[in-house]
Chain A
Amino acid sequence: MQPLIEVNKLVKQFDSLVAVDNLSFSVYQGDVYGFLGQNGAGKSTTLRMLLSLILPSSGSIRLFGEELTPNHKSILSRVGAVIERPDLYKYLTAIENLRIFARMSGVRPSHRLLMDQLEMVGLAERANSKVATYSQGMKQRLGIAVALVHNPDLVILDEPTNGLDPQGIADMRNLILRLSREFQKTVVVSSHLLTEIEHIATRMIILDRGKKMMEGAVADYFQPASNKVHLGVANPEKAIELLKKEPWGLQVELSREELIVSLASHQVPALNRYLVEQGVEIQSIRSVNSLEAYFLSLTSGNQHVAAFTN
């Protein structure tokens, strides 16, 4: 199958900083392709190069089987994107913004079609409100509507959940999944949050300091049964003894102040209850799944655990 996006030996250098270093990857039709990496890993720079916002220093980008640079007009007519914040014209209404960007994309949708688009992102009732009056979540959803207004085959979303509250994040996840499953769009989505990619992506790439650390199917790296559970307890000796005995019979590692056991995530509440009932005082408990562990082993980010798992 021919890739929808084919990036080969892509390099972007800003003066002495190599933001993207010899990067190659492929995205296929129907993928929800996750870009994962810490802040500054090169995700946004790569996505901006895919959209002609930034010119590569070297390397090639092919979209829909064509070289991007000489064919960017025809290629971009099949792409919808939200890059970082979905900034729109605040002094215009939602429907005016939508109409402007539809026309710039070469389509002249009817009022009904524009309203349908706003309906899809839950903004139909505020269609005639100025964007200045919108919340961050509403702007994000309007940004998605703008990206989709010309019915693109490929949707590129750079950090789409940034600045959203938990409900907004859940809505955005559902919307991305709908785009893929219901509307058969190929979606490229970047995030510095592992959980985001884990929940929505089918394939992913991990970047670190501009370099590709891995690329593959998310399912191959995410195995819920092999979660590592980190326990902080007041009396570790007693806890180790209890964990090694029946009914748990677990292998226990001691790392710094924490006990580490391998356990499926759905068993964590029962383990917690058992230890408390046995008089073990639990100070902290957290799960680190195999993808997360793998991710941290690939990136220079053990010190950034919180950033990737929150």
Chain B
Amino acid sequence: MWQLLRIELFKIFKRPRTYISFAAIGAIVALILLAFYADGTNYMAFGMQSLTQSFDIQGNVLNGYLICFIILQTLLIHVPLLIALVAGDQIAGEANMGTLRLLITKPVSRTNLLLAKFFSSAIYTILLLCWMALLSLVVSILIFGTGDLMILKSEEVVILEKADVLWRYFAAFGFAAIAMTTVAALSFLLSVFAENSIGPIVTTMSVIIVFTILTTMDIPIFNAIKPFLFTTHMIGWKGFFDAPVQWEPVLQSAGILLFHIIAFLVATILIFRKKDILS
């Protein structure tokens, strides 16, 4: 199993397209940082216009922690596409290249092969999030320094003390890893049905877009199904930026996402074990 995992990781990181995701995140983060560096003060003044009329705000509000929070909000919407690029390619891409039939003729069980492929996708996902964390948190702090984190929510303003912020980012990125692994698992499942990676990638994104729309639309008929949509729970990382943290909904969301990962993976294995390889 370990050998298979090493082989799958080797294949992933030997493909040039793998680095498109890292480059894309690097480019977006760099652009956001540049924008805040050039015009961040004006942006903050505009955003906090209503607050400054009632409150006297002092200190470094435009700090690395705030910028990291903004980047997280923006990027976690788009990262699923980058995850699906690799996870959706794992089986469908092999079928398309014609290498799947060669893999299956080797003395490895289909279950082990799938597990190796899934875990390599999960490792890729985690590395991508680490890269995102490194750029958005570490580089932001290096450029803009640290300070208290002030988050404007629809009905309240949350202010987190500087010393109480960093652990929340580690927890948020950990949660994001679970959320993005759910996307990888879905894309991986869809990959079993296709012989071209475009299908699973597009379908994964379609599912996420449709579910996200259902999650955000405040229509009573959709309220009943919202708790069952994994997209509802993907934004659970924001719970770490409440004061105090509401652990129950955060852990419940993490549990539901883990359940989805296991369900998608088991379904993938059951289907693939019986599948005729005709590619």
Contacts and interface: CB of A to CB of B under 8 A. Distances in A.
Given A83-B102, A88-B99, 9 more contacts: A53-B276, A54-B277, A76-B106, A81-B105, A87-B97, A87-B102, A91-B14, A100-B7, A104-B107
Interface in A71-85: 72-77, 79, 81, 83-85
A51 interface: yes
A198 interface: no
A51 B104 contact: yes
Nearest to A81: B105
Contacts of B105: 51-53, 76, 79, 81, 83
20 contacts: A51-B104, A51-B105, A53-B101, A53-B105, A55-B274, A76-B105, A81-B105, A84-B98, A85-B98, A87-B101, A87-B102, A89-B11, A90-B97, A91-B14, A96-B14, A100-B7, A101-B102, A101-B106, A104-B106, A104-B108
A224 B62 CA distance: 91
A101 B104 CA distance: 11
Contact of A54 (B97, B98, B102, B278): B278
Contact of A92 (B14, B104, B277): B14
Given A54-B278, A89-B11, A105 B99 contact: no
Contacts of A249: none
Nearest to A108: B3
A269 interface: no
B244 interface: no
Interface of A: 14, 48, 51-55, 72-77, 79, 81, 83-85, 87-92, 96, 100-101, 103-106, 146
Contacts of B102: 81, 83, 87-88, 101, 146
A89 B108 contact: no
Given A48-B277, A53-B104, A83-B105, A100 B15 contact: no
Given A52-B105, A53-B276, A55-B276, A91 B16 contact: yes
B109 interface: yes
B99 A73 contact: no
B139 interface: no
Given A53-B101, A89-B11, A90-B97, A106 B107 contact: yes
Contacts of A92: 11, 14
B141 to A, nearest CB: 37
B4 interface: yes
Nearest to A44: B278
Contacts of B278: 48, 54
A77 B277 contact: no
Which 7 A-B pairs give the minimum distances between C-beta atoms? A87-B98, A77-B107, A76-B107, A104-B106, A53-B277, A54-B276, A51-B105
B106 A105 contact: yes
